[in-house]
Structure 1
């Protein structure tokens, strides 16, 4: 259970990725930005991809849209990255999470086979949803700190 949540904080999104995220939500592949950010951050953490956001989108995603399980994952990623327990009681954890999500989003698009797609048809959306579910169910999709496995 997360011990510190700043409900006024907004998780940043990369301005360059904003349109692609909007297309994924409009095509109903994801319910909202927070879902895209969560999966993108986990993907990036798993492969060690970290990319701070240089130009954020004008609006971030308020923490109130994230669940308590999401908070726990944000805390775990921040702790695993920083290796200092104090990070989970600071706003720095949101910056760390945003950087992983920023790095993971292009990888997510690639895994969904939607890289460079300007318009997502109904058929493409269905195929992307199947790819997304396969990604979630695939072996090796886990987050670990040292020898402890956190997500599988």
Structure 2
């Protein structure tokens, strides 16, 4: 049975398109030996610099339990380091190691490659980057 994609609601199409984008990115980052969610953390730290886990939750739109689990794996892999906040003992600052910075740079190249692939997939319609940015900005809590 053939699927009539035109009958699907926008949200379903967006979710399915997102899954395809993640699959494409996963293939590109195999050599980095990290997951897409881990890559989003590494790139966030690379682009915005040292920050607390709370700020990282806001930027990546992930909950604290999820961030904590991902950070443990990244710290074990030698990509992220934590240091105590001297002005607030309840929090720590997160930053990238040299290995983490290198991974972020390679990850950004992989993201750019996948973005180009996605843009090429559409020969009739412009890639909706502006729409996606606007949607995230309007619905983000940060």
Question: Rg bigger for which structure?
Answer: 2
- Structure with larger RCO (C-alpha < 8 A, sep 6+): 1
Larger helix proportion of the pair: 2
TM-score (norm 1): 0.30
